[in-house]
Structure 1
Amino acid sequence: MPDNTTPLKRRSLRIAATALAATLPVWAVTAGPGGVVPTAAAQPGQEASASAEPAVVDGPFDSREAAEKTNYVPAEEAAWRNHVYSDTGRLDKMEEYKVHSPSMNRDIPVVVIRADNDVVNPPTLYLLNGADGGTGLANWLEQTTAADFYGNRVGSVNVVIPMSGAFSYYTDWEQPSALAGGGVQKWETFLTGELPGPMEKKLGTTNQHRAIVGMSMSASSVLVYAEQHQNLYDAVASYSGCPATSGAAASTVDVVLDRGNATYEEMWGDRNGETARRNDALLNVDKLSGQKNIYISSSSGLMGEHDVPSGDRLRGNPVGSVTPAVEGGAIEAVSNVCTHAFKAAADKAGIDSDRNNINWNFRDTGTHQWGYWQDDMFLSWPTLAAGLGLDTGDAEEKARQAAEDYLAANPGVGAAGSVPLLIDTWNNAWEKTYGDGADGNGEGAGA
């Protein structure tokens, strides 16, 4: 039978199915006498970092014009350049590099937020985008104060942000797909093996301390990297992800892959197969036993301070609450279930705050959106700084001040953004329909 549902309805059904699957306790864990424990995981294959050829790093470009002349990335996928260049050249501390991946045989845009000039041998933080990979407007530069926070306030770390990889899960795919115009996807090989050495050498540092951050789609990816490439990262942060990705929990992955017209089978093959299980962070949680400095967060899915019309993100736009309340709430609720299951498995595996410096942030409210990931950017910085060999006291103070300054500069509209604004919006719409002489009750003002 033909599918007569609208794309919005189909997506809503998919989200609902995902939420249902995520509530099933059999998808990633089994109950034992001591509580929740991970099921047996497949042995990992050869480490990408051990066999990868080095990437070729070209840049930085002196100007936007110079970068655009190379035509290596479509202009419609490079809106992030607005945050890298001014009319005359690069903005302070911002750089764009063209990086060639041997495994994918393609050039990948990478944005760098440089450490202060007087910082000698800084560590490196790899910052991954979510589902659109930075090709649209859903990226760290567009949606957060990352450039100011890391570049101006922290100033002691080089931040590396790949601006590609939409809907790829930043993983190595088993088959070619429609992503990025077709071809092979070898993102884990690129990010863990090909990129770090050449990128850090290009940035002039020999500091071996590095950390990685992922959110939404990439939140589970960074946990897999830490598990499968032990000792590569000194700190890891995962915001609003679903660490369970195989078996019945594969439906959570389908939500992302559908948007890229790709399939789970193209990516990892059988949903219960060796590759799928190898890339399931929950099944391999015991491999984090040697990892230090971990920050993991999720919210309940209930609307919070960044979701309401009166808040800092919407600034009085009542319609803007619809997506967080409906779609973002459902997605985050699923992430929350996944993350709590991951914590139970981590606890069972003996991964704890004292031995591993693992910090959990479970919010009572909040949906799947950038306001909370910016909060995580601030809140996770002391944990990341500990791994990067930086002063944690200084990190706490800078994070606290950055959060306070952001809220002071973006206070929202307060009570005027809630009921009064909704009434005004209703009356304005009514007047446009029935004329200036009508009120919201359908009667003339003088009646």
Structure 2
Amino acid sequence: MLVRRGPRVSDEEAGVVAIRLLTGRSGERSSRMRSARRPGRTTRSGSWVKRAAIGVAAAMLVPMGVSIAGPAAPASAAFNPAGFDFWVDSGMGPIKSRIFRAKDGNTNRVVYALDGLRAPETLSGWEIDTNVAQLLTDWNINVVMPVGGMSSFYADWNAPSSFAGIPPGTGSSSGSGALNALAAGPGKSYRYQWETFLTQNLRWALRDRLGFNPNRNGVFGLSMGGSAALTLAAYHPDQFSFAGSYSGYLNISAPGMREAIRLAMLDAGGYNVDSMAPPWGPQWLRMDPFVFAPLLRDNNTRLWVSAGSGLPGPADGPTAGTVNGMALEALALANTRAFQLRMATLGANNVVYSFPNVGIHAWSYWAEEVARMTPDLSAHIG
């Protein structure tokens, strides 16, 4: 279901079902190959406020960063030979992106695809689990897939991530050293600077080395990447004229959300949310789409904002992964509905909302959303 704008709120069955199914069930993480980086107010029972409470409770039980595989990805997924590695130096060291050239060879139309919380160091999840690169290049859009950034929210962090008081370093991966091992990894011995990388280092390298247009680009992402896409568009409107958020967390200052994010980041690599941004300070609020929504309205950035219902489809089996995906999507939907109401109160008319009747936190649904979004993306970049 596509909604151009307005505060209408959907039914809340998904969140209730998620909580009921979660009770007494443990989560199941999907595995990904990883390697080291190269040197309103309402009293109705069906209100979004109730959905938010349900979703936050679910997040406390299920790690928010879980990447649910969903139905099997097409056979050509996992590695796309049409793409090529593009290394750029940064304050974090050399960072790899994967580039897919537009079918017609143009350099004017560019979109960045951002990963989720468990972003691996090998390939973007968009390449591993979907074929969106082929779809977008067939629409004559150049695709940039930054690789890495686990738990980063693609932000410039306040400090290198610490874990349980353990300073950055390495340690044994087994026995008593297992905890110390969580102090190692990207963003542990250095400070994450992903916003700087995406808006300066990578942006200008793409222009200078490939001739890509550095202005009026698009950016979209899932979950963590959806929140980040809106952040980048809000503060860099010359670079990004279009932003898409799928299952994003767009109201991170809501009650319980910081602690939900804390648990998710601990689960996804042992990262510390306090190292990213001190609680409730300017740096944290700067990352909250609900807070910076007026910038998106004033910039007139074209937005595509979506979240599923949290209800599984016929291809989603009765597994722990499906249960996790239901709960995560219920939380994302609560955040997205809150953002929708916020934009409505601001009188913003630059947003397309997409709320499919079926959909959990899974790659198959995000790939479908890219297909729905692409015509609108194509009309608003370059």
Normalising by the residue count of structure 2, what TM-score does the alignment of the two structures yield?
0.71
Q: 1:284 aligns with which of 274, 279, 292?
A: 292
* Separation in structure 2 between the aligned mates of residue 211 and residue 82 of structure 1, nearest angstrom: 23
Bigger Rg, structure 1 or 2: 1
Query: CA 1:167–1:149 in 2, change beyond 3 Å: closer, same or farther?
Result: same
Matched, 1:83 2:79: yes
Give the AA of the match of 1:149: L
Are the counterparts in 2 of residues 95 and 114 from structure 1 also a CA contact under 8 Å? Answer: no
- Between the two proteins, what is the percent identity of the paired residues? 28
Matched with 1:268 is 277
Query: CA 1:373–1:21 in 2, change beyond 3 Å: closer, same or farther?
Result: closer
Q: 1:166 aligns with which of 127, 132, 150?
A: 150
Matched with 1:381 is 374
* Separation in structure 1 between the aligned mates of residue 264 and residue 355 of structure 2, nearest angstrom: 23
Are the counterparts in 1 of residues 87 and 96 from structure 2 also a CA contact under 8 Å? Answer: yes
Unaligned runs of 5+ in 2: 1-22, 28-48, 57-75, 162-182
Q: Deviations over 1:148-188 (max 9, x none)?
A: 2123x22x221110111111111111111144152110111
| Partner secondary structure for residue 23 of structure 1 | helix
Matched with 2:159 is 175
Give the AA of the match of 1:368: H
Q: 1:331 aligns with which of 321, 328, 333?
A: 328
* Separation in structure 1 between the aligned mates of residue 272 and residue 254 of structure 2, nearest angstrom: 14
Are the counterparts in 1 of residues 55 and 327 from structure 2 also a CA contact under 8 Å? Answer: no
Matched with 1:68 is none
Matched, 1:22 2:57: no
Query: Where do residues 27-426 of structure 1 align in structure 2 (5 Å cutoff)?
Result: 83-84=79-80, 91-92=81-82, 94-101=83-90, 103-104=91-92, 106-116=93-103, 118-135=104-121, 139-151=125-137, 153-154=138-139, 156-177=140-161, 178=183, 179-180=185-186, 181-206=188-213, 208-246=215-253, 248=255, 249-258=257-266, 259-270=268-279, 272-289=280-297, 290-308=299-317, 321-352=318-349, 356=350, 358-389=351-382
Query: CA 1:138–1:330 in 2, change beyond 3 Å: closer, same or farther?
Result: farther
**Greater length-normalized contact order (CA 8 Å, ≥ 6 residues apart):** 2
Deviation at 1:22, TM superposition (A): 3.3
Are the counterparts in 1 of residues 158 and 277 from structure 2 also a CA contact under 8 Å? Answer: yes
Give the AA of the match of 2:272: T
Deviation at 1:134, TM superposition (A): 3.5
* Separation in structure 1 between the aligned mates of residue 148 and residue 77 of structure 2, nearest angstrom: 13
* Separation in structure 1 between the aligned mates of residue 365 and residue 106 of structure 2, nearest angstrom: 32
Query: CA 1:137–1:21 in 2, change beyond 3 Å: closer, same or farther?
Result: farther
Deviation at 1:137, TM superposition (A): 7.5
Query: CA 1:334–1:247 in 2, change beyond 3 Å: closer, same or farther?
Result: closer
* Separation in structure 1 between the aligned mates of residue 110 and residue 123 of structure 2, nearest angstrom: 24
Unaligned runs of 5+ in 1: 1-7, 13-18, 27-79, 85-90, 309-320, 390-447
Q: Deviations over 1:350-380 (max 9, x none)?
A: 111xxx2x11001222110001100111011
Q: Deviations over 1:42-68 (max 9, x none)?
A: xxxxxxxxxxxxxxxxxxxxxxxxxxx
Give the AA of the match of 1:129: D
| Partner secondary structure for residue 284 of structure 1 | helix
| Partner secondary structure for residue 276 of structure 1 | helix
Are the counterparts in 2 of residues 123 and 208 from structure 1 also a CA contact under 8 Å? Answer: no
* Separation in structure 1 between the aligned mates of residue 89 and residue 284 of structure 2, nearest angstrom: 27
Deviation at 1:336, TM superposition (A): 0.4
Count of paired positions: 294
Deviation at 1:324, TM superposition (A): 3.9
CA RMSD of aligned residues (A): 2.8
Deviation at 1:254, TM superposition (A): 2.0
* Separation in structure 2 between the aligned mates of residue 375 and residue 163 of structure 1, nearest angstrom: 22
* Separation in structure 2 between the aligned mates of residue 136 and residue 328 of structure 1, nearest angstrom: 24
* Separation in structure 2 between the aligned mates of residue 260 and residue 246 of structure 1, nearest angstrom: 23
Query: CA 1:277–1:25 in 2, change beyond 3 Å: closer, same or farther?
Result: farther
| Partner secondary structure for residue 130 of structure 1 | coil
* Separation in structure 1 between the aligned mates of residue 123 and residue 98 of structure 2, nearest angstrom: 15
Query: CA 1:20–1:251 in 2, change beyond 3 Å: closer, same or farther?
Result: farther
Q: Deviations over 1:220-251 (max 9, x none)?
A: 11111112223321111110011112353213
Query: CA 1:251–1:378 in 2, change beyond 3 Å: closer, same or farther?
Result: same
Q: Deviations over 1:122-160 (max 9, x none)?
A: 311111111122436770111111232123x22x22111
Are the counterparts in 1 of residues 253 and 285 from structure 2 also a CA contact under 8 Å? Answer: yes
Query: CA 1:255–1:138 in 2, change beyond 3 Å: closer, same or farther?
Result: farther
Deviation at 1:200, TM superposition (A): 2.7
| Partner secondary structure for residue 289 of structure 2 | coil
Are the counterparts in 1 of residues 242 and 302 from structure 2 also a CA contact under 8 Å? Answer: yes
Q: Deviations over 1:194-220 (max 9, x none)?
A: 211221332123463310011011111
